[in-house]
């Protein structure tokens, strides 16, 4: 916890109303300003007490406070440093440790996730039992989306028409296992917009899960950099908000590593899909898609990467599509990476709140650019019993328009 | 916790309040040690987070039973230390009381709980064409309860008045724990007026009826850049002299502009010694007519660039620089003090020249942001808290700015309140007798001085000296001009 970064906070409180846990509980120590105060207490010599660790763990890492802060406090850096300290100094209860180890041994590995797909489907039915064993297991079972047809992506998808760029594509661990159709749509959209898309078959986890939990992410970062260096691409396009934000942090993560890693990280042009498509400019014709869409700002896209206008711009450019805004769009849905697994209680409350606002838009489709958010909000809508809404990724909506599939491809009217 | 009285009190609170509403862990308590003014700190003895007026009243009664002082706090954004806790007391935080209870558009009023943020009221009625007028710069976070306690102002108070002009009724918990309603319609003494701005010394507001205003038909915002502060000041005087009452006239000097630029990239004109923001609102015809006059005055007084907001987004962009100015100063200085003083508009140039002299004398930078229309200055005194002695020098400069305000017939606070920070300046503004008279009002509400003691007034006086025991006879009582309650 860098005291210099802590000092930037002038205690103005502008972060409070954007903080999901402050919105829920209205307590100072569960607000960014209060957590920074706790950090300064630790820097001044107070050990990490269980209470203190609890308030840091309760932070979703959504970075809404970073957007709101007029003093430019780097809360993102601070909380990452703090989580590392908590991991080092705080001894967790045995069952909490077990759950965390399970998650970290599972989610960053695509093959392990694949092996678990069948048991996970079973788990949906065993949810009440799992819930009793541990709330985190119950949350996991509730989040699992219905099984998707596996999609095998070729190592290279050729541009349609004149080639305008060669880009790499990260398939993501959770994305590729639970939402393979999003990756397929992403590759098609990029190809239709004139990109050769390189999809390295042996890519691993980008390290987002570890990085956002205070664990060492350097191994994952280096492997990912090497993979895309070998691919020979101009940019790496990422369709998962959480992965994109952590990959944009590689230079910071590897800043002390010998071997020029920081420079190599900086040379990797990482772009969110929407960000990249807007930079590139459209060439493929858009076919009408008469559908109303509510766009959800994933925190790791809107707050961590500052990508808000681009996805909206892409959606609005589709003829016939009506875009609706969701109330409290800057407040996290409670997914937040592993948060809904480790903190199922508050995650559930935030999910319910988000689902209410989403359903209130009365849109046909909810568009979200992060698999975590999609699963979280879908589960909350199912739970509410007040109707469901088809959930799609920006890429799927664009794909449907570019290929002229019509609204039915999205389950709209 | 070592204080046995507080220990017993905490147990009673636990019985009384919902789970999780009583905080006694020192690590947690310390996060409440200050509000928006960080150089006064005190760890509260106990923090309670009530959810209803009844819980507030019960908590206050318990404090009374144990003779323990209490302090109310909303969002903790105050800038005079008004919510500075007592180490021997209880901090009653209203941040969980944030329901909007009633919106009554035909009668243009809303009833809200004290923890509702100022902006949340406007957001709740904006689509119907209404808003809540007072707009402190912290409006997205500050609580309406805190606004009532401090009689908060804001950029648009020049035309529309302060919080006190927009509160129609209050439900308060008195310092002895009674729930009482005060209304602007009540005949007799204006107790509502006395309560608004009493800085937590007369009780805690638990329900607030606010006036809703109609969103003006037209709003025009203009930004004018001047070579110097004097030019801007001249424009302000000329606008007011022309009989125009803008919704707001705000001025920022070069250093404040630099900070805002660093923080939010507001892109104000380069090379400006002063930037003036003038906003006009009202019926379209009136606004258009006045706008032409304002533009002409700005040009005549030497504005070298004038920008007019063509859309709501452009207006927001102009305001963004101004509204974030306080916290933005954090970008150009490790630490700073926000000062709040008032001078007659005509004295502005002299006072600003005086501030310049102070900067040189003490080697301390001061950025100036002010509600120029009503002469409310917000000098931001910049310093490096790591440099030995600089904090003290900054405090001296900050204090001497207030002396300047008083010398020029102004006041030590325009809208931030006296709190703990400025209580020592009260004797410079008021005579002993004035202060004693104020104490008589306080004693009428809070004879035991348990409600936010140590704020506003320099030293405990009268009933505050020793709870329950009075020393001597008050001069006003002795002279027969007042009666003790």
- B411-444 residue pLDDT tens: 999 989 999 999 999 999 999 999 999 999 999 9
Chain A hits for B338, Cβ within 8 Å:
none
Chain B hits for A16, Cβ within 8 Å:
75, 141
What was the pLDDT predicted at A71? 85
Chain A hits for B336, Cβ within 8 Å:
10
pLDDT digits (tens, 9 = 90+) for A240-296: 999 999 999 999 899 999 989 999 999 999 999 999 999 999 999 999 999 999 999
Please, where in chain B does CATH 3.30.465.10 lie?
Answer: 100-214
Cβ distance B264 to A25 less than 8 Å, yes or no, reads no
Do the beta carbons of residue B373 and residue B249 sit within 8 Å? Answer: yes
Interface residues on B facing A, Cβ-Cβ cutoff 8 A: 20, 23, 25, 27-28, 30-36, 38, 49, 75-77, 93, 95-96, 98, 115, 117, 138, 140-142, 262-264, 324, 326-331, 334-336
Give A94: exposed, middle or buried? Use CB within 10 Å, 0-12, 13-18, 19+: exposed
Q: Which of A6, A7, A11 to mutate to test the interface with B (most CBs of B within 10 A)?
A: A11
Question: pLDDT tier at B460 (50, 70, 90 boundaries)?
Answer: low
The residue-averaged pLDDT of A379-389 equals 88
The residue-averaged pLDDT of A361-379 equals 94
- Give which of B381, B382, B428, B421 is closest to B404, Cα–Cα: B428
Tell me what ipTM this predicted complex has. 0.89
Please, where in chain B does CATH 3.30.43.10 lie?
Answer: 4-93
The residue-averaged pLDDT of A118-144 equals 74
What was the pLDDT predicted at B466? 37
Q: pLDDT: is B475 or B7 the higher one? A: B7
Do the beta carbons of residue B226 and residue B304 sit within 8 Å? Answer: yes
- Give which of B210, B199, B207 is closest to B445, Cα–Cα: B199
What was the pLDDT predicted at B480? 54
In chain A, what percentage of residues exceed pLDDT 70?
97
Instruction: Write down the mean pLDDT value for chain A.
Output: 90
| Nearest CA-CA distance, residue B110 and chain A, Å | 21
**B479 pLDDT more than 60:** no
pTM: 0.89
Do the beta carbons of residue B476 and residue B437 sit within 8 Å? Answer: yes
Size (chain A), residues = 413
Instruction: Write down the mean pLDDT value for chain B.
Output: 91
Q: How far apart are the first and last CA of chain A?
A: 51
pLDDT digits (tens, 9 = 90+) for A87-130: 899 888 888 888 888 877 877 777 777 777 667 667 777 777 77
What was the pLDDT predicted at B469? 35
Q: How far apart are the first and last CA of chain B?
A: 37
Q: How far is CA B177 from CA B91, B180, B203, B204, in A?
A: 15, 9, 9, 9
pLDDT digits (tens, 9 = 90+) for B108-160: 999 999 999 999 999 999 999 999 999 998 999 999 999 999 999 988 899 99
DSSP letter (8 states) at residue A358: H
pLDDT digits (tens, 9 = 90+) for A330-362: 999 999 888 888 888 999 999 999 999 999 999
How many Å apart are CA B215 and CA B108, to the nearest integer?
A: 12
What was the pLDDT predicted at B1? 47
What was the pLDDT predicted at A93? 85
Q: How far is CA B4 from CA B14, B27, B65, in A?
A: 15, 19, 14
CATH fit for domain B4-93, picks 3.40.50.300, 3.30.460.80, 3.40.50.150, 3.30.43.10: 3.30.43.10
Helices A309-316 and A273-280 cross at an angle (nearest 10°) of: 60
Chains A and B: how many Cβ contacts under 8 Å? 88
Chain B hits for A34, Cβ within 8 Å:
31
Report the 10 Å Cβ neighbour count for B357: 11
Cβ distance A71 to B330 less than 8 Å, yes or no, reads yes
Lowest mean pLDDT among A2-6, A108-112, B175-179, B193-197: A108-112
Chain B hits for A14, Cβ within 8 Å:
138, 140-141, 327
What CATH code is assigned to B100-214?
Answer: 3.30.465.10
CATH fit for domain A156-278, picks 1.20.1050, 3.30.70, 1.10.3470, 3.50.50: 1.20.1050
Cβ distance A14 to B263 less than 8 Å, yes or no, reads no
Provide the CATH topology of domain A3-89.
Fumarate Reductase Iron-sulfur Protein; Chain B, domain 2 (1.10.1060)
Question: pLDDT tier at B467 (50, 70, 90 boundaries)?
Answer: very low
Please, where in chain B does CATH 3.40.462.10 lie?
Answer: 218-407
pLDDT digits (tens, 9 = 90+) for B254-300: 999 998 888 888 889 888 999 999 999 999 999 999 999 999 999 99
* Cβ contacts of B321 within 8 Å, gap of 6 or more: B252, B257, B260, B261, B264, B266, B268, B275, B328
Instruction: Considering only CA atoms, give the Rg of chain A.
Output: 21
- Extents of the domains making up chain A: 3-89, 94-143, 156-278, 285-410
What was the pLDDT predicted at A103? 79
What was the pLDDT predicted at B478? 56
Cβ distance A8 to B330 less than 8 Å, yes or no, reads yes
**B461 pLDDT more than 70:** no
Lowest mean pLDDT among A322-326, B59-63, B226-230, B346-350: B346-350
How many Å apart are CA A322 and CA A313, to the nearest integer?
A: 12
The residue-averaged pLDDT of A352-377 equals 94
What CATH code is assigned to A285-410?
Answer: 3.40.50.10700
Nearest CA in chain A to B115: A26
What was the pLDDT predicted at B464? 44
What was the pLDDT predicted at A411? 56
Cβ distance A10 to B140 less than 8 Å, yes or no, reads no
Three-state secondary structure readout of A359-378: HHCCCCEEEECCHHHHHHHH
pLDDT digits (tens, 9 = 90+) for A205-250: 898 888 887 788 899 999 999 999 999 999 999 999 999 999 999 9
3-state secondary structure of A265: helix
Of the partner residues A16, A34, A71, the one whose CB lies closest to the CB of residue B31: A34
What was the pLDDT predicted at A326? 96
Of the partner residues B30, B96, B141, the one whose CB lies closest to the CB of residue A37: B30
What was the pLDDT predicted at B473? 55
**B450 pLDDT more than 60:** yes
Provide the CATH topology of domain B218-407.
Vanillyl-alcohol Oxidase; Chain A, domain 3 (3.40.462)
| Nearest CA-CA distance, residue B196 and chain A, Å | 23
- Give which of A102, A111, A104 is closest to A130, Cα–Cα: A102
| Torsional class of B229: left (φ above 0), alpha (ψ -120 to 50), beta (otherwise) | alpha
């Amino acid at each position: 916890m860098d005291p210099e970064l802590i000092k930037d906070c002038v205690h103005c409180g502008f972060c409070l109303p954007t903080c999901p846990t402050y919105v829920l509980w209205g307590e100072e120590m569960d607000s960014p300003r209060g957590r920074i105060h706790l950090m300064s207490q630790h820097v001044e010599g107070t050990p990490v007490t269980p209470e203190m660790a609890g308030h840091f763990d309760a932070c979703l890492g959504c970075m809404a406070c970073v957007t709101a802060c007029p003093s430019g406090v780097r809360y993102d850096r601070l909380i990452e440093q703090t989580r590392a300290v908590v991991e080092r100094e705080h001894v967790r209860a045995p069952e909490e440790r077990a759950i965390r180890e399970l998650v970290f041994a599972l989610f960053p590995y695509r093959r392990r996730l694949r092996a678990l797909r069948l048991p996970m489907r079973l788990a949906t039915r065993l949810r009440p039992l799992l819930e009793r064993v541990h709330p985190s297991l119950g949350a996991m079972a509730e989040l699992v989306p219905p099984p998707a047809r596996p999609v095998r992506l070729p190592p290279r998808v050729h541009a349609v028409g004149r080639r305008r760029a060669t880009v790499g594509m990260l398939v993501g661990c959770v994305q590729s296992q639970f939402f393979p159709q999003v990756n397929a749509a992403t590759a098609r959209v990029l190809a239709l917009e004139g990109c050769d898309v390189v999809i390295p078959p042996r890519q691993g986890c980008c390290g987002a899960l570890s990085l956002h939990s205070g664990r060492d992410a350097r191994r994952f970062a280096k492997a990912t950099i090497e993979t895309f260096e070998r691919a020979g691409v101009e940019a790496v396009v990422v369709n998962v908000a959480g992965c994109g934000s952590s990959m944009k942090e590689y230079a910071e993560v590897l800043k002390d590593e010998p071997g020029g890693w920081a420079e190599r990280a900086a040379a990797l042009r990482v772009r969110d899909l929407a960000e990249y498509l807007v930079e590139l400019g459209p060439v493929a014709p858009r076919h009408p898609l008469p559908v109303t869409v509510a766009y959800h700002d994933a925190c790791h896209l809107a707050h961590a990467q500052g990508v808000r206008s681009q996805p909206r711009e892409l959606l609005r450019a589709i003829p016939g599509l009506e875009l609706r805004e969701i109330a409290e769009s800057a407040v996290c849905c409670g997914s937040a990476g592993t948060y809904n697994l480790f903190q199922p209680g508050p995650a559930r409350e935030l999910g319910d709140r988000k689902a209410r606002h989403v359903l209130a838009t009365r849109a046909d489709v909810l568009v979200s650019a992060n698999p975590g958010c999609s699963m979280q909000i879908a589960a909350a809508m199912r739970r509410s019993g007040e109707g469901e809404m088809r959930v799609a990724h920006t890429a799927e909506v664009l794909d449907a328009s570019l290929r002229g599939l019509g609204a039915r491809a999205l389950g709209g009217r | 916790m070592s204080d046995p009285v507080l220990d017993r009190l905490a147990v009673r609170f636990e019985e009384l309040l919902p789970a999780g509403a009583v905080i006694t862990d020192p690590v947690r308590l310390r996060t409440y040690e200050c509000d928006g003014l960080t150089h006064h700190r005190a760890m509260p003895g106990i923090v309670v987070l009530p959810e209803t007026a009844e819980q507030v009243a019960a908590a206050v009664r318990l404090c009374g039973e144990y003779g323990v002082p209490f302090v109310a706090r909303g969002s903790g954004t105050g800038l005079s230390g008004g919510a500075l806790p007592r180490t021997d007391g209880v901090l009653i935080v209203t941040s969980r009381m944030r329901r909007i209870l009633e919106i009554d558009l035909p009668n243009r009023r809303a009833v809200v709980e004290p923890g509702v943020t100022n902006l949340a009221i406007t957001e709740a009625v904006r689509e119907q064409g209404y808003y809540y007028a007072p707009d402190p710069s912290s409006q997205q976070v500050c609580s309406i309860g805190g606004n009532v306690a401090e009689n908060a102002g804001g950029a648009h108070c020049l035309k529309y008045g302060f919080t006190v002009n927009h509160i129609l009724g209050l439900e308060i918990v008195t310092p002895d724990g009674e729930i009482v309603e005060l209304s602007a319609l009540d005949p007799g003494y204006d107790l509502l007026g006395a309560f608004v701005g009493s800085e937590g010394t007369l009780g805690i507001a638990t329900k607030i009826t606010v006036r809703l205003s109609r969103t003006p038909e037209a709003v025009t915002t203009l930004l004018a850049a001047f070579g110097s502060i004097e030019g801007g000041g001249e424009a302000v005087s000329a606008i007011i002299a022309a009989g125009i009452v803008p919704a707001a006239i705000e001025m920022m000097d070069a250093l404040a502009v630099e900070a805002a630029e660093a923080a939010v990239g507001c892109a104000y004109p380069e090379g400006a010694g002063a930037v003036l923001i003038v906003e006009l609102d009202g019926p379209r015809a009136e606004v258009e007519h006045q706008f032409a006059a304002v533009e002409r005055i700005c040009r005549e007084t030497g504005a070298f660039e004038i920008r007019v907001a063509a859309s709501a987004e452009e207006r927001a962009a102009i305001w963004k620089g101004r509204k974030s100015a306080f916290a933005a100063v954090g970008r150009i200085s490790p630490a700073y003090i926000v000062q709040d003083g008032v001078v007659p508009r005509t004295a502005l140039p002299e006072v600003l020249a005086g501030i310049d002299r102070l900067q040189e004398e003490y080697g301390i930078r001061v950025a100036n942001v002010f509600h120029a229309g009503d002469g409310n200055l917000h000098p931001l005194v910049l310093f490096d808290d790591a440099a030995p002695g600089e904090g003290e020098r900054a405090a001296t400069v900050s204090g001497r700015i207030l002396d300047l305000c008083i010398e020029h017939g102004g006041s030590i606070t325009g809208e931030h309140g006296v709190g703990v920070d400025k209580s020592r300046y009260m004797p410079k503004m008021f005579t002993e007798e004035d202060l004693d008279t104020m104490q008589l009002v306080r004693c009428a509400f809070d004879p035991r001085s348990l409600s936010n003691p140590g704020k506003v007034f320099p030293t405990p006086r009268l009933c505050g000296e020793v709870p329950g025991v009075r020393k001597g006879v008050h001069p006003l009582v002795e002279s027969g001009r007042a009666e003790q309650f």
